Amino acid sequence: MTSAFQTAGNSLAGKLVRTQGVTAPAGFRGAGIAAGIKASGKSDLALVFNEGPDTAAAGVFTRNKVKAAPVLWSQQVLSAGKLRAVVLNSGGANACTGSGGFQDTHRTAEEVATALSNWGTETGAGEVAVCSTGLIGDRLPMDKLLPGVTEVVHELAGGISGGTDAAYAIMTTDTVPKQAAFHHVDKWNVGGMAKGAGMLAPSLATMLSVITTDAVATADQLDTALRNATRLSYDRLDVDGATSTNDTVLLLSSGASGVTPSQEDLNAAVLAVCDDLADQMMADAEGVTKRVRVIVSGAVSEDDALIGARTVARDSLVKTALFGSDPNWGRVLAAIGIAPIELDPDRIAVSFNGSPVCVDGVGAPGAREVDLSGEDIEVTIDLGLGDFTVSIRTTDLSHAYVEENSAYSS
Amino acid sequence: MTSAFQTAGNSLAGKLVRTQGVTAPAGFRGAGIAAGIKASGKSDLALVFNEGPDTAAAGVFTRNKVKAAPVLWSQQVLSAGKLRAVVLNSGGANACTGSGGFQDTHRTAEEVATALSNWGTETGAGEVAVCSTGLIGDRLPMDKLLPGVTEVVHELAGGISGGTDAAYAIMTTDTVPKQAAFHHVDKWNVGGMAKGAGMLAPSLATMLSVITTDAVATADQLDTALRNATRLSYDRLDVDGATSTNDTVLLLSSGASGVTPSQEDLNAAVLAVCDDLADQMMADAEGVTKRVRVIVSGAVSEDDALIGARTVARDSLVKTALFGSDPNWGRVLAAIGIAPIELDPDRIAVSFNGSPVCVDGVGAPGAREVDLSGEDIEVTIDLGLGDFTVSIRTTDLSHAYVEENSAYSS
């Protein structure tokens, strides 16, 4: 959790907690229900509602060229820089579903707008973002989803626990809900929730995340804060190199605190929340038995450091070695060696959990005896060429990962 | 096996067999012994010897920036375009071993040259290529390797089985030796052996391969034939996206047949042998339970088809689904969608073993019921944009892969 503040490069005055999420900032309500979209009967429909007074918003979406219907819809909606609500469903991605699937998304947004208007807040479908997660390729059961929308709007009447209910409703293979909130000493707040356990990779993970704030900020300021935060947090989480068709991160501001923080403080607070949520996603990734940080330092550019760290973080042989608690540093060298970056094999130094295992490209004494039996492993690779450092979060490659992802249409 | 000839694009007159390898062409001898480099006591030292009259040769090496000592040595030796012998050891990669490791390689080549000279063929160390495979990071036990060199030279006196002995001696986690030979009707031949079961990826696999021919050809002609063959065979085998520090493919010609084939025929015959060896490596890859072909067609360029096929072939979620015999075509769409190539999501068609599962980016009827329980799976992705097609060999991601690669310093 300290990393967020280090990365932000300043000392942000406030407190980060994990007991609250999107409803921690003033002006937001949340709800989550079981609408029957999931065959299991578990909670599967969430709503985040912005009571205002402001409705400025920003979004970041998957870079996958195959985009799910809700991504196409929400990108369109966000072009106006305003959001009144976000409706999210698990139990189906509504991806690769053609024009029929897009109509389903549009219909869902209209149903939310109607229900919110009936509930007392005049809302247009163009102010409602839609997020979906689950199996790719199937149409959503609209006969269950649409009645669910009316129900979830009624649930908004609940208190602060509505944010937690929403965090539960967006879970797929996640085993725990992920929430974080940052309370600034100047009495403005940022809250967030996220889901994502597999298909986690750069260009966002298979993740949905909604961040809220009661700070006063324009859509442009929110956009700056959100892009900065995703670049340094979610984009540096790489579990399996896969990038989803549905990745969506939204930032909504209500302005209800009446406080206008500096852009720098807003950036730092949004990053703090996203970074903590990224940490929670790493810890709950599919099949994870080791939480791994791959740090590349001494690179000639930030890009080189990032590409190098990502290449090692994705390497199946490194990841299986870490699963086996095996300090097989040769695989780290082989992995960094294929990264398309500037490097000198004779200057590379590698350490595991701070113990040097390779110096100047050659094994260090005792390298094979380093203890990696714990759950947290830090792999540091110093290229010895420049001043740039990047850290990537990843996991090991375990039997449980294979098991979870080989079950029929998981 | 027919694929080699299809890829070659001509009808090569001859016969491919798997019962012979590097000693199938006239003018070559081979040997393999247990020198004690492997703790298991298994065969670990191989020699391929070219009796001539010619000694033209070519080589292709790993593109990993971290190169093992034997790769650095053999690249240097090959600059003269001549090879009298290749010595290969398993039981240690001699990678990341610094200048001491390079001296070990040099010393090995000198020992081979001395032993061959004593045996009756005047040889310089600069005519001896060295290949090593095994764990990265440890020095080789020279006290065992050097006496082994004398012994393996004496073993050259044996007959045609020497090629098979050599193929056994280069095995690491391979479960079977890999050999192939092509006998042209015009009475010239190409033979080869290869090893490689893990760390298999583009830019060659963790593989060593020695190809021999008794055709008359210059070093330049051999180089052309070898680069064409590796580009279309070994470079299109991608088991785990990892590229070794030691990959080496060598082509030696003895000219002993006295026949000078056309460059086209030489290309085709070398490709036929390499392609068959690549097929054998796929079938024996670490933890393989499915042999998978990923074919991308309808691409606007060969590069696009290749990058697209490779991206899908490397996708952990596709590979685990295939392990589970799960026709989860949505993961194929999600994978191809992140490939940096030209594509239109609404024109993509996917089929599994010939059954359409996705048409125009949307699921086809019966897609979830396609039977993938067999050992061979063909995933075809038609981008519908152009005329280029590339096929990549890969495997599933199984429990056995994780098991084999998580054992201590495997």
pLDDT tens, B80-96? Answer: 999 999 999 999 999 88
In angstroms, the CA A117 to CA A104 distance is 20
Report the b/e string of A177-206 with b at 16+ CB within 10 A: bbbbbbbbeeebbbbbbbbbbbbbbbbbbb
Contact residues on chain A for B244, CB-CB shorter than 8 A: 334
Determine the residue among A61, A64, A65 to mutate to test chain B binding: the one whose Cβ has the most chain B Cβ atoms within 10 Å.
Answer: A65
Q: Do B63 and A135 touch (CB under 8 A)?
A: no
Contact residues on chain B for A361, CB-CB shorter than 8 A: 66, 96, 98
DSSP tag of B345: G
Is residue B54 predicted with pLDDT exceeding 90?
Answer: yes
Tokens 């940096």 found at: B340
- Please check whether residue B103 touches A, CB under 8 A: no
Q: For chain B, where do the domains classified as CATH 3.10.20.340 start and end?
A: 291-406
In angstroms, the CA A154 to CA A207 distance is 26
pLDDT of residue A1: 33
Is residue A255 predicted with pLDDT exceeding 80?
Answer: yes
ipTM rounded to 2 decimals: 0.73
The class (CATH top level) of B2-283 is: alpha beta
pLDDT of residue A240: 65
| Across B198-218, average pLDDT | 72
Counting residues of chain A whose pLDDT is more than 70, the rounded percentage is: 92
pLDDT of residue A112: 98
pLDDT of residue B242: 63
The highest-confidence range among A122-126, A399-403, B153-157, B169-173, by mean pLDDT, is: A122-126
Closest CA to A391 of A308, A293, A253: A293
In angstroms, the CA A72 to CA B249 distance is 48
Query: Closest-CA residue in chain A for B343?
Result: A65
Token pair, residue A89, equals 């469903």
| Across B196-215, average pLDDT | 68
Kindly indicate the confidence band of residue B407, based on its pLDDT and cuts at 50, 70 and 90. Answer: low
β-pairing, A291-299 vs A376-382, is: parallel
User: Is B206 one of the catalytic residues?
Assistant: yes
Q: Do A137 and B244 touch (CB under 8 A)?
A: no
Contact residues on chain B for A346, CB-CB shorter than 8 A: 98
Is residue B201 predicted with pLDDT exceeding 80?
Answer: no
Enumerate residues 6+ apart whose C-beta is below 8 A from A146: A107, A108, A111
Query: Closest-CA residue in chain B for A324?
Result: B406
Q: Do B405 and A316 touch (CB under 8 A)?
A: yes
Is residue A262 predicted with pLDDT exceeding 90?
Answer: yes
* 3-state SS, residue B298: strand
CATH of domain B291-406: 3.10.20.340
Is residue B203 predicted with pLDDT exceeding 50?
Answer: no
In angstroms, the CA B397 to CA B324 distance is 9
Is residue A272 predicted with pLDDT exceeding 60?
Answer: yes
The highest-confidence range among A171-185, A389-403, B97-111, B228-242, by mean pLDDT, is: B97-111
- Please check whether residue A136 touches B, CB under 8 A: yes
Residue B245 · residue B131 · CB < 8 Å:
no
Composition of chain A by helix, strand, coil, percent to 5: 35, 25, 40
How far off is chain A from B155, nearest CA to CA, in Å? 33
Is residue B261 predicted with pLDDT exceeding 90?
Answer: yes
Contact residues on chain A for B336, CB-CB shorter than 8 A: 66
Determine the residue among B102, B173, B304, B316 to mutate to test chain A binding: the one whose Cβ has the most chain A Cβ atoms within 10 Å.
Answer: B316
Counting residues of chain B whose pLDDT is more than 90, the rounded percentage is: 59
Q: Is A36 left (phi over 0), alpha (psi -120 to 50) or beta?
A: left
Catalytic residue (choose from A206, A230, A245, A394): A206
Residue B390 · residue B305 · CB < 8 Å:
yes
Kindly indicate the confidence band of residue B197, based on its pLDDT and cuts at 50, 70 and 90. Answer: low
Report the b/e string of B165-201 with b at 16+ CB within 10 A: bbbbbbbbbbeebbbbbbbbeeebbbbbbbbbbbbbb
Lowest mean pLDDT among A225-229, A322-326, A402-406, B264-268: A402-406
Is residue B18 predicted with pLDDT exceeding 80?
Answer: yes
Kindly indicate the confidence band of residue A197, based on its pLDDT and cuts at 50, 70 and 90. Answer: low
Kindly indicate the confidence band of residue A407, based on its pLDDT and cuts at 50, 70 and 90. Answer: low
Q: For chain A, where do the domains classified as CATH 3.60.70.12 start and end?
A: 2-283
Q: Does the annotation list B253 as a binding residue? A: no
Decide which of B395 and B380 is more confident: B380
- C-alpha separations of B90 from B47, B68, B166, B230 in Å: 12, 13, 11, 22
DSSP tag of B398: -
Is residue B112 predicted with pLDDT exceeding 60?
Answer: yes
Looking at residue A187, its amino acid is K
| Across A55-74, average pLDDT | 90
Is residue A192 predicted with pLDDT exceeding 60?
Answer: yes
- In angstroms and rounded to an integer, the radius of gyration of the C-alpha atoms of chain B is 22
Q: Report the residue from A97, A336, A401 with minimal CB separation from B362.
A: A97
How far off is chain A from B22, nearest CA to CA, in Å? 29
Is residue A27 predicted with pLDDT exceeding 80?
Answer: yes
Lowest mean pLDDT among A8-17, B172-181, B186-195, B278-287: A8-17
In angstroms, the CA A15 to CA A10 distance is 14
* 3-state SS, residue A168: helix
Which residues between 254 and 293 in chain A have a beta carbon less than 8 angstroms from any beta carbon of chain B?
none
Kindly indicate the confidence band of residue B198, based on its pLDDT and cuts at 50, 70 and 90. Answer: low
The highest-confidence range among B19-23, B131-135, B143-147, B362-366, by mean pLDDT, is: B143-147
Looking at residue A265, its amino acid is D
Query: Closest-CA residue in chain A for B97?
Result: A362
With 0-12 / 13-18 / 19 or more C-beta atoms within 10 angstroms meaning exposed / middle / buried, residue B63 is middle
- Please check whether residue B358 touches A, CB under 8 A: yes
Decide which of A195 and A296 is more confident: A296
**Mean pLDDT in chain A?**
88
How far off is chain B from A150, nearest CA to CA, in Å? 29
Q: Do A138 and B363 touch (CB under 8 A)?
A: yes
Kindly indicate the confidence band of residue A7, based on its pLDDT and cuts at 50, 70 and 90. Answer: very low
Residue A315 · residue A292 · CB < 8 Å:
no
How far off is chain B from A14, nearest CA to CA, in Å? 38
Determine the residue among A133, A238, A406, A409 to mutate to test chain B binding: the one whose Cβ has the most chain B Cβ atoms within 10 Å.
Answer: A406
| Across B241-263, average pLDDT | 87
pLDDT of residue A206: 58
How far off is chain B from A9, nearest CA to CA, in Å? 32
Kindly indicate the confidence band of residue B3, based on its pLDDT and cuts at 50, 70 and 90. Answer: very low
Decide which of B166 and A245 is more confident: B166
Looking at residue B380, its amino acid is T
